Amino acid sequence: MDKAALKTTADNLVKSGKGILAADESTGTAGKRLASIGMDNTEDNRRAMRDMFFSTSGAAEYISGVILFEETLGQDRVDGKHSFATDMMAHGVIPGIKVDKGLEDAFETGEKVTNGLDGLPERLAGYYQQGARFAKWRSVFSITDTLPSAACIAENCDRLARYAKMCQEAAIVPIVEPEMLMDASGAGHTIDQAYAATVRVHKALFKKLEEHGVYLGGVLLKPSMVIEGHACDVCTTTNDVAEMTVKCLKESVPADVAGVVFLSGGQADTQATEHLNIMNQIAEKQGGLPWPLSFSYGRALQGEALRAWGGREDALENARATFLHRAKMNSLATKGLYTADKEDGLCLGKCACA
């Protein structure tokens, strides 16, 4: 294991002002994105959708890396000149890869485990040859009065740790993603329940990472923000979410971890930006935190731009500008410099976003 190389890659992924684009939707999920704008789920359409985001001029100023789906890692751009991964590396953006194989029911409680460990070392070697230098594995946890169960936490955290160790042995930085579901069916948990569940899961995860000999300086944590479930009838403020999330991280995440890159998980685009911004303002007031707080957003970066595109060639420029704007807003949030007035029009050199 080359700890220095892992550390360098991890640090570059959370470099000041930059975050990660999560574009790792499976073929089925990509199809849902395309269907929302009236497009068929074909390989060419998936390629065109990815190309729109990945070829946005100036995005590398705000995007450090992109998590890809297996199909996309090996795909050429629409113009056929280079692969997506090769083009990214040429612009200083690090290609990553989703390596888990999805969820399955595993407990009487209805909770799920994540599959994908079988054959993973061989797949990682191939992904490395294709240019991937980091990877992602997602586990999910429901929150109720009795969930997540101890069995679900133990099994999913063990799988996350085994995956992370395999990644590091393949010279690939692992992102560990223990997602606390806020929009699952019936999700009505309070922010206090979310806090308690997240602390439990994080502590169990880092205990497993230690047991498996994972080097934390070469690990990124992709956590949920501490937020109530969508069906909860007690609403919290943006400040509440930011304060509770920072408190949770300080209680449950070792200082050695290279960085924290939040998922947006069911939040509106600007809401995810606002929460990240306030967390970084809190961090500054507290004299800094052990790890950078950044983003690894999917829909919160892509959704608005996808609607602006609608599959139309004549809308590409506007769609790319929309994507660039959201990337820039989240870049500002990583520094605690985002304000709502910067949303007034796209940032095409016409507003004071510097």
Beta carbons within 10 angstroms of residue 176's beta carbon: 27
- Dist. CA 137–CA 135, nearest whole Å: 7
CA 94 to the chain's CA centroid:
14
- What is the Cα gyration radius of the chain? 19
Q: Which residues pair with 261 in a beta bridge?
A: 294
CA atoms within 13 Å, Cβ hemisphere of 221: 29
User: Letter for the amino acid at 10?
Assistant: A
**Residues marked as catalytic:** 177, 222
Distances (CA, A) of 281 to 242, 273, 337: 9, 12, 8
Distances (CA, A) of 48 to 13, 54, 55, 68, 217: 25, 10, 10, 14, 36
Cα torsion 251, 256, 262, 265: sign: negative
- Dist. CA 255–CA 274, nearest whole Å: 24
For 261-290, b/e burial (b = at least 16 CB within 10 A) is bbbbbbbebbbbbbbbbbbbbbbeeeeebe
DSSP letters along 158-175, please?
A: HHHHHHHHHHHHTT-EEE
Tokens of 288: 């800094």
Would you call 105 helix, strand, or coil by DSSP?
strand
- Dist. CA 278–CA 107, nearest whole Å: 37
